[in-house]
Structure 1
Amino acid sequence: MRLFDTGHNRKTGALDAHSIAVVAVRTADLRVLVEDGELEALRMLTDRRDELAHQRVQTLNRLQRLLSELLPGQRKRDLSATQAKTVLATIRPRGIAGKTRRRMAAEEIADLVAVDAKLKRIKAELKAAVLERGSHLMDIYGIGPAGAARVLAEVGDVARFADRNRFASWTGTAPLDASSGEQTHHRSSRAGNRRMNHVLHVAATVQIRHDTEGRAYYRRKLAAGKTPMEALRCLKRRLSDVVYRQLVADAQKHDGAGPGGHCGATLQSSAVDSHPLIDTSDQPLPGPAQPTLRRPSPRRKTLTTSTPRHRGVPDPATGVAKRDTE
């Protein structure tokens, strides 16, 4: 709408607001956004869980650095708080620098214990909230309470997606054509909801590491000549379809469960997020636009060679009546 409007077509806040308002007025089948407090709380809990997970990684990295300085060459990769306490108990530095490192390591261990306790409580709360909404997303291998809660918070009402292809485009798992000449090539999409893409990426990685159907599918793609990244992209696309089917199945089982409960295709959507991003060729037309060209003045008449002059009508140039023209 902004592109085909008259003017300089620059992207400003005022022009975007005007274009959005025009599209909203001209589109009759828009969904009405309904606020869902439960989904909003689920989103906040999921964001808090991600923040705590990042904090845990930073704390663990600092602890690993201190322990590697206290015990060179004895660093453990997957270190828990209990293991760190056991290792630190065997260290008795004599210098002031070593004692300071040991004290800082003890503080990092205390922070790690506190973060782990918070993560455990949030995980239990997310699991209870997902089960309360009647979702079976955790039945998919590789999707836990945090991943299922993220899917529910981001998707909202699955009825806003027409089919699994639209859902895959929104999650950023639909491949894009990047062919050149006779070489056919596809690449991953950088658009879409990146949080949903991360959930599917984690699920695909977990399935590849274990004996699952996803691992068998991944190996079949490798045997067919796909690169590891291309096979992973295919698996993520397949998992996107699995998640979409599960959401639709939950919506059919809990039809009429209320806003946000995936209650089927209605004109009201409980999605907390914005509408899915789709390709420009899939965007609906805003409707007939107002004409921007001025109409010719009724006094001015344009005659062409294809306009016939009837018998007895005087010619405007000479004033002499002529017979029928060609």
Structure 2
Amino acid sequence: MSMQQVPAHRRVVIGVDTHKHVHVAVAIDELGATLGNRSFAADTGGYLELIDWALAFGGKPTFGIEGTGSYGAGLASAVRRRDIGAIEVVRTDRRDRRLRGKSDSIDAENAARAVLAGQATAIPKTADGTVEMIRQVKVAKDIAVKARTAAMISLKQVIVNAPPQLREDLQPLSKMALINRCAALRPGQVTTILSSSKYTLRAIARRWQHLNEEISGHEKVLEQLTTQVAPDLTAAFAVGPDTAAEMLIVAGDNPERIRSEPAFARLCGVAPIPASSGMTNRHRLNRGGHRQANAALYRVVIVRMQHHEPTKAYVARRTAEGKTKAEIIRCLKRLLARELWAAMRPLRQPREASPEAA
């Protein structure tokens, strides 16, 4: 069956709905007419087959790919290596799904039309450098932190239900003293409630110690990688490896995809949103953006409000002007995003300069 050919000067958009095992693609021309749709295996061979299928339509191809940070990452990388434009597309809104229904072909078509209409413009992260390494280590650390927290909660719960002589001995202890005491317990043969409680407490406490050691190792790796990539970022007041990692993860290995500092602030969820009506002129918090980055900015702001003299002076001045604490924190987070974006300038400059050098 012959494929419809598009003139070389006209645009062709290929929308792709990505899944774990199969990707579904729909091609449309610049007038919105459907050129074709097909399913492809979600592997290296399938990526190449999909790209060749898209190029067979002619024209100027652009891919609109859903899930470029998960199931679509491999396809986005393959498209980029072929020097073809790729746009990240968010999932279709629920209102459209209620009206048109839900299928892989519909989702792929919606992805293509979002690119054609200019609603989707984000360039995917390349995920091929040190920042991707930081993201992976950060995932390992976050999982370990959650497990350590769960271990401590479980330990204290077991103590609440332990025999009185054991409970009364352990409850007054501080956290580290409690961990060390429980890890050193000698339950002997598990033949009584007391011995089983000691056995359980020792197992949980030693698990906590193991996880704490693992987290320390992750933090050392994060410190090394973040300092290597953006030393000015990690040198900022109250910005540790964890916060620096969150900022770098938001920017990605190709931070030039973020057009400006205000765009970075919006990506972090700290760009103020107008909330005015009539004669008022107010703004509110942005509930969107990267929530982990937003939380990291919040933690830095809270530390600076307590220990950073310029920030303390700013808070005093804005409080005198009648600003609430929430409004002041919003302003500080916005200013901090600007500061950290400037600290990441060396990360952007090499890639920004490369087209001119070529």
TM class by shorter chain equals 0.5 to 0.7
The one-letter code of the counterpart of 2:352 is G
Q: Which residue of 2 aligns with 1:126?
A: 222
Q: What is the CA distance between 1:32 and its match in structure 2? A: 7.7
Structure 1 segments (4+ residues) deviating >6 Å: 87-92
- Which of 42, 54, 67 does residue 146 from structure 2 map onto? 54
Do the aligned partners of 1:68 and 1:75 also contact (CA within 8 Å) in 2? Answer: no
Deviations 1:268-313 (A, max 9, x none): xxxxxxxxxxxxxxxxxxxxxxxxxxxxxxxxxxxxxxxxxxxxxx
Q: Which residue of 2 aligns with 1:18?
A: 109
> Using the alignment, how far apart are the partners of 1:32 and 1:86 within structure 2?
50
- Which of 103, 106, 109 does residue 202 from structure 2 map onto? 106
Q: Which residue of 2 aligns with 1:316?
A: none
Do the aligned partners of 1:39 and 1:153 also contact (CA within 8 Å) in 2? Answer: yes
Find out whether 1:176 has 2:268 as its counterpart. Answer: no
Cα 1:224–1:30 shift into 2, 3 Å: closer
Cα 1:160–1:75 shift into 2, 3 Å: farther
Cα 1:194–1:100 shift into 2, 3 Å: same
Q: Which residue of 2 aligns with 1:273?
A: none
Secondary structure of 1:140's counterpart equals coil
Q: Which residue of 1 aligns with 2:57?
A: none
Do the aligned partners of 1:171 and 1:193 also contact (CA within 8 Å) in 2? Answer: yes
With normalisation by structure 1, the TM-score equals 0.64
Q: What is the CA distance between 1:110 and its match in structure 2? A: 0.2
Deviations 1:78-133 (A, max 9, x none): 622x55324787999xx944443333222111011000110011111111112232
The one-letter code of the counterpart of 1:194 is R
- Aligned ranges for residues 156-235 of structure 1 at < 5 Å? 156=252, 157-235=254-332
Unmatched 5+ stretches in structure 2: 1-12, 16-30, 34-95, 162-166
> Using the alignment, how far apart are the partners of 1:47 and 1:54 within structure 2?
11
- Aligned ranges for residues 268-279 of structure 1 at < 5 Å? none
Percent of paired sites with the same residue = 22
Do the aligned partners of 1:88 and 1:102 also contact (CA within 8 Å) in 2? Answer: no
Q: What is the CA distance between 1:208 and its match in structure 2? A: 2.3
> Using the alignment, how far apart are the partners of 2:248 and 2:153 within structure 1?
31
User: Quick check: 98-107 or 241-250, which moved more?
Assistant: 98-107
User: Quick check: 116-125 or 183-192, which moved more?
Assistant: 183-192
With normalisation by structure 2, the TM-score equals 0.59
> Using the alignment, how far apart are the partners of 1:24 and 1:124 within structure 2?
41
* RCO comparison, higher one (Cα < 8 Å, 6+): 1
- Which of 258, 264, 279 does residue 352 from structure 2 map onto? 264
Find out whether 1:154 has 2:250 as its counterpart. Answer: yes
Do the aligned partners of 2:130 and 2:229 also contact (CA within 8 Å) in 1? Answer: no
Cα 1:30–1:85 shift into 2, 3 Å: closer
Alignment length (residue pairs): 252
The one-letter code of the counterpart of 1:169 is R
Do the aligned partners of 2:182 and 2:202 also contact (CA within 8 Å) in 1? Answer: no
- Which of 167, 173, 179 does residue 84 from structure 1 map onto? 179
> Using the alignment, how far apart are the partners of 1:46 and 1:119 within structure 2?
10
Higher helix share: 2
